[in-house]
Amino acid sequence: MVFNGAGAGTGTTNLIALVEDGHVVAEKLLTGRGASEHFAPALKSLLEEGKWAEAPDAIVAVIGPGSFTGLRASLSLAAGLAAGWNCPTVGVTLGAAIRATLGRPDVTCVSLARRGRFFVDPSDGPVFAISADDLDAVTFSAIAGDGVQERSSWPCPTIDCVAPDALGIVRAAEGQPAGPLSPLYVDPPEAKPPAAGLRPLPQ
C-alpha cells in the first residue's frame, strides 16, 4: 500500500495506491489542496475497488517535504492502518520517490515551499529550504518537481515531473529499513509556547 500526501496546490499530485507483484491494482489520485479530508474516504473506496481484505506486506509513504496538512493526514492514516494490520512501514522523501520514478538517481527535487521559497532534496545531501531568489542550480545535473515551473529558465536541465508515481515510491523504499512514519517538515514549527509560559492547570 502506498501513500503520498506531500503535494500542495490544485494539481493531482497526491495518491493512495494498492500495489501487488510490481503492478498497481487500484489507485486514487488526489489534488493537493483539500486532500487531507479525502484520504480516508478514498482509501475505503480503494479497498472496495481492489477487493483487498488482507493486510499488505508493508505500507510505504512519502514523508516530505511538502504540505504540512497533507503529510499529517496521510501519515497518520498510514500509521493507524499499519498498527491495526501489524505490518511494517517505510518512509521515503519526495526527492527519492521522484528519482526512482524517473530512474534518474542524479536528479535534484525542487518543490514549492511557503513564503517564496523552495524545498531542495538533492541526491547527495540533506533536504533544505532556501529562498527562491537565492537558489543557484548551476551545479545540479538535472532538476524536477513542482518548483521547476516557477522559473522561465534554469541553468541546468529540467525534467517535467511534479510528483512521483506509486511504483516509483515503492522502488524508492526498496532496501530502506522499516520504521515509524515521521514527517519531514524541514521548517521548525511556527507555533511556539507563550513567552510568559503556559497557563497553570485548572484546579
DSSP string, 126-179: --EEEETTT---TT-S-EESTTGGGSS--SS-B---SS--HHHHHHHHTTPPP-
Q: Please name the amino acid found at residue 183.
A: P
Nearest of 63, 59, 137, 146 to residue 97 by alpha carbon: 63
Instruction: Name, in order, each residue with C-beta under 8 angstroms of 150's C-beta and a sequence gap of 6 or more.
Output: 112, 118, 132
- Between CA 82 and CA 51 the distance in angstroms is 18
Beta strands across the sheet bearing 89-93: 23-30, 14-20, 2-4, 59-64, 89-93
**pLDDT (0 to 100) of residue 54:** 86
Task: Determine how β-strand 14-20 pairs with β-strand 2-4.
Answer: antiparallel
User: Quick one: average pLDDT of 88-96?
Assistant: 98
Q: Which of these ranges, 41-45, 65-69, 104-108, 192-196, has the smallest mean pLDDT?
A: 192-196
User: Quick one: average pLDDT of 181-202?
Assistant: 77
Q: Is 169 a residue whose pLDDT tops 80?
A: yes
C-alpha cell at 188: 521548525
191 — pLDDT class (breaks 50, 70, 90):
low
Q: Is 86 a residue whose pLDDT tops 90?
A: yes
Q: Which of these ranges, 43-57, 116-130, 144-158, has the smallest mean pLDDT?
A: 43-57
